[in-house]
């Protein structure tokens, strides 16, 4: 694996290898006093975040440091980006400074792909940490890792993805990955929050994709429910009448949680808007896997860095 730009096109074997490595790293580090492995000694990882982030940036930084890579964080605010430098020039600068891997988050869909093209000559690996409304592959991988923890396997499971699918790179990456792993994904959202081409999304051969506008009839059939954040910062216009109305129709309340089978966990990629898409009681219940997702996020990102940087360079 040279880059991780999306889960669209990520084959099943590679995805499972990354998830297995993540499990192995988690078991290796469990209960250790010193959580440090020498595996990526001498490799330099640069995170380049053009959008706000807490968990993704922090968990990539921790992942790199636990593998002994040198991690440098660049944010748009404190860098030459503020002076008007282009994404391409910033990336070439970071590659010239010695980056083996650039982890990028950018508001423009496709930014990571462009970056990978520009950095091909330098041989720098690129990880997409979220590009616009396109993809967020490590989030989907950590969600899959969490589902494996809670359910044993993803294959044959019916996974609900509820809420603002239109603006969600998390939903898109999860649809690709979870169907590739053999799950049936049910997208549940009001028509205004579903992208027009959703029926044409590429779906893994092993799985399938279903779209629904009503949450309550779906809940009893689900093995897990993934609640998406309502992304007000990307909404320019009226997508639903009011926050209260959205919460009533699609918010995961305690009453709705009772409709969900006992074994089904609740996932949320964070940050959560309590009272909007998820009630505080559900978010804090043992059914919620939200902190487990964050913990898995570190191990999954370690695994991604391992697969990108530890093996022989094969140029593929």
Query: Which residues does the annotation place in the binding site?
Result: 55-56, 83, 105, 136, 139, 169, 229, 270-271
Residues 173, 269: Cα–Cα separation, whole Å:
12
Output b/e per residue, 225-242; b: 16+ Cβ within 10 A. bbbbbbbeeeeeeebbee
* Torsion, CA 264, CA 268, CA 274, CA 280, rounded to 10: 30
Residues 131, 110: Cα–Cα separation, whole Å:
6
Residues 306, 18: Cα–Cα separation, whole Å:
9
| Least distance between other proteins and beta carbon 57 (Å) | 24
| Least distance between other proteins and beta carbon 33 (Å) | 6
Residue 148's φ and ψ, nearest 5 degrees, are: -65, -40
Closest to other proteins by CB, 87 or 101 = 101
Within 10-49, the residues that bind other proteins by CB under 8 A are: 17, 20-21, 24-25, 27-28, 31-34, 36-39
Residue the block writes with tokens 């043992």: 286
Please identify which residue in 1, 72, 243, 249 interacts with other proteins, judged by CB under 8 A: 1
Within 62-91, the residues that bind other proteins by CB under 8 A are: none
The reply to whether 58 sits near other proteins by the rule CB under 8 A is: no
Residues 17, 264: Cα–Cα separation, whole Å:
25
| Least distance between other proteins and beta carbon 221 (Å) | 35
Closest to other proteins by CB, 246 or 306 = 306
| Least distance between other proteins and beta carbon 27 (Å) | 7
| Least distance between other proteins and beta carbon 22 (Å) | 10
Distance in angstroms between the alpha carbons of the first and the last residue of the chain: 7
Binding site for other proteins (CB under 8 A): 1, 17, 20-21, 24-25, 27-28, 31-34, 36-39, 306-307, 310-314
């Amino acid at each position: 694996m040279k880059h991780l730009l999306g889960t669209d096109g990520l084959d099943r074997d590679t995805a499972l290898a990354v998830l297995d490595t993540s499990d192995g790293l988690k078991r290796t580090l469990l209960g250790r006093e010193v959580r440090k492995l020498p595996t990526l000694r001498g490799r330099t990882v640069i995170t380049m975040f053009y959008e706000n982030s807490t968990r993704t940036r922090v968990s990539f930084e921790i992942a790199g440091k636990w593998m002994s890579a040198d991690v440098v964080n660049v944010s748009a605010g404190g860098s030459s980006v503020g002076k008007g430098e282009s994404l391409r020039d910033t990336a070439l600068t970071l590659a010239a400074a010695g980056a083996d891997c650039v982890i990028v988050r950018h508001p423009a869909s496709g930014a990571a792909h462009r970056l990978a093209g520009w950095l091909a000559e330098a041989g720098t690996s690129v990880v997409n940490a979220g590009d616009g409304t396109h993809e967020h592959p490590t989030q989907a991988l950590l969600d899959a890792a969490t589902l494996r923890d809670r359910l044993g396997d993803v294959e044959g499971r019916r996974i609900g993805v509820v809420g603002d699918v239109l603006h969600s790179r998390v939903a898109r990456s999860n649809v690709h990955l979870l169907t590739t792993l053999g799950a049936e994904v049910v997208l549940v959202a009001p028509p205004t929050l579903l992208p027009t081409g959703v029926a044409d999304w590429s779906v893994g051969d092993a799985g399938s994709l279903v779209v629904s506008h009503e949450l309550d009839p779906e809940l009893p059939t689900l093995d897990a429910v993934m609640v998406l954040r309502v992304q007000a910062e990307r909404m320019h216009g009226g997508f639903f009448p009011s926050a209260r109305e959205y919460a009533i129709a699609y918010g995961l309340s305690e009453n709705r949680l009772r409709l969900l089978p006992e074994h089904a966990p609740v996932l949320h990629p964070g940050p959560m808007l309590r009272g909007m898409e998820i009630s505080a009681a559900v978010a804090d219940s043992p059914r919620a896997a939200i902190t487990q997702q964050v913990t898995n996020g570190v191990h999954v990102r370690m695994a991604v860095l391992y697969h990108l940087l530890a093996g022989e360079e094969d140029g593929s």
